[in-house]
Amino acid sequence: MDTARPVCQHPGMSRPQVVPFTVEVPQADLDDLRSRLARTRWADDYANEDWKYGVERGWLQEMVAYWLDGYDWRAEERAINAYPNFRVELDGIPIHFLHCKGVGPSPMPLVVTHGWPWTFWDMRKLIGPLTDPVAHGGDAADAFDVVVPSLPGYGWSVPLRTPGVNVGRVADLWVQLMRDALGYDRFGAYGGDWGAMVTAQLGHAHAAHVIGVEMSLPTIPGIDRRAIPAEAWAPEEQWMLARMAEAERLIRSHVTVHIHDPQTLAYALADSPVGTAAWLWERRRAWSDHGGDVLDVFSRDELITLASIYWLTGSITTSLRLYFDHFNAPWPLVHDRSPTIEVPTAFAIFPKELVLLPRSVAAAHSDLRQWTLMEKGGHFGPVEAPAAVAEDLRRFFRPLR
């Protein structure tokens, strides 16, 4: 199947202009960041060695000291620019993305979508194994053309000035990106967190253009998890209920604020790089699979790059808006047919994921082809276990080529 053949444009339409992009943060911005880090006004903290009140001050001060004296943004910038970066404007919304061509006889196009508190850069460890499987012990027939966009209002997909950008709107934009801007008439999709929701929406609303979808966060458009009956959970899935009960307190605070008054929090985060970092890093620690030390999963450089991208692009404010714009309205369903997701569907379930679904519900509402229970990992599967995710994607899409 020739999935990479350019699609004809609709009459009167011109192809969106894709332009190469280079990350070049002005030195003045780096100097301002350094000054703000050095002048941090530290909140008092006591009796918090176990992080029960939130991020522990001593750990945070050590991270900031490394940010000031050990971390090299320019090295990270060079690493990002080693990939082919582009920007395009779709419906007045700027979108930044990586477009990495596959090495193989017929690479399949695949759009890979991140979430919050993620950036496009969290997906980088998937790119090599997916674009060049031979170099990673695989088969050239499994190669993908990998497109990794930054969500609207995240990273270098700024400035976002369009209100109401929800999961449905992002999925529509991704079809424009893949089909109209890049010429892929049909493509696969993968994502975690918000990226899983966007990917599910692609499979629901754009079946004509989507080969198949895989999500690490199990989600089905329109499904209310609270309404799932107890008998839907199989005996071997009772651990999922226990995990969700455990995780509920880990997600309550950010969800409540982001949905109801994100702009109020944004003023504090936009004024303080340490505030931004603490808000992001606390979730990285709470939502990943480790034995108590988040640095067992993410390096200091990885965590600081995450915070630096949000800070240096000024995107922390608009990144929060997605919660408000999506969750304050019904999921934007486009049909009531069964199943909800009509294209071949796969889920890769990590044991420390935050919200889960019973397999019976997934099977009833999607064309379920693959259901994988991963051995280890949390909410950030593509970063925590990239080799396992890449192999699962190869296995799922292999018969769909």
pLDDT for the residue 13: 61
Strands (E) located in 44-191 = 85-90, 93-100, 108-113, 144-149, 187-191
The per-residue pLDDT for 273 is 98
Task: Tell me whether residue 20 is exposed, middle or buried, using C-beta atoms within 10 angstroms of its C-beta: 0 to 12, 13 to 18, 19 or more.
Answer: exposed
Predicted local distance difference test score (pLDDT) of residue 14 = 81
Cβ neighbors of 98 (< 8 A, separation 6 or more) are 83, 84, 85, 86, 120, 127, 146, 147, 148
Neighbouring residues of 311: CB distance < 8 A, sequence distance ≥ 6: 33, 273, 276, 277
End-to-end CA distance of the chain: give it in Å, rounded: 6
For the chain, which residues make up each domain, given as ranges?
19-400
Beta-bridged to residue 188, according to DSSP, are: 110
Which has the closest alpha carbon to 208: 181, 170, 178?
178
- pLDDT at res. 9: 40
Is 19-400 in CATH node 3.40.50.1820? yes
Mean pLDDT by 10 residues, the chain (401 residues): 35 81 98 98 97 97 98 98 98 98 97 98 98 97 98 98 97 98 98 98 98 98 94 97 96 96 98 98 98 96 98 98 96 96 98 97 98 98 97 98 97
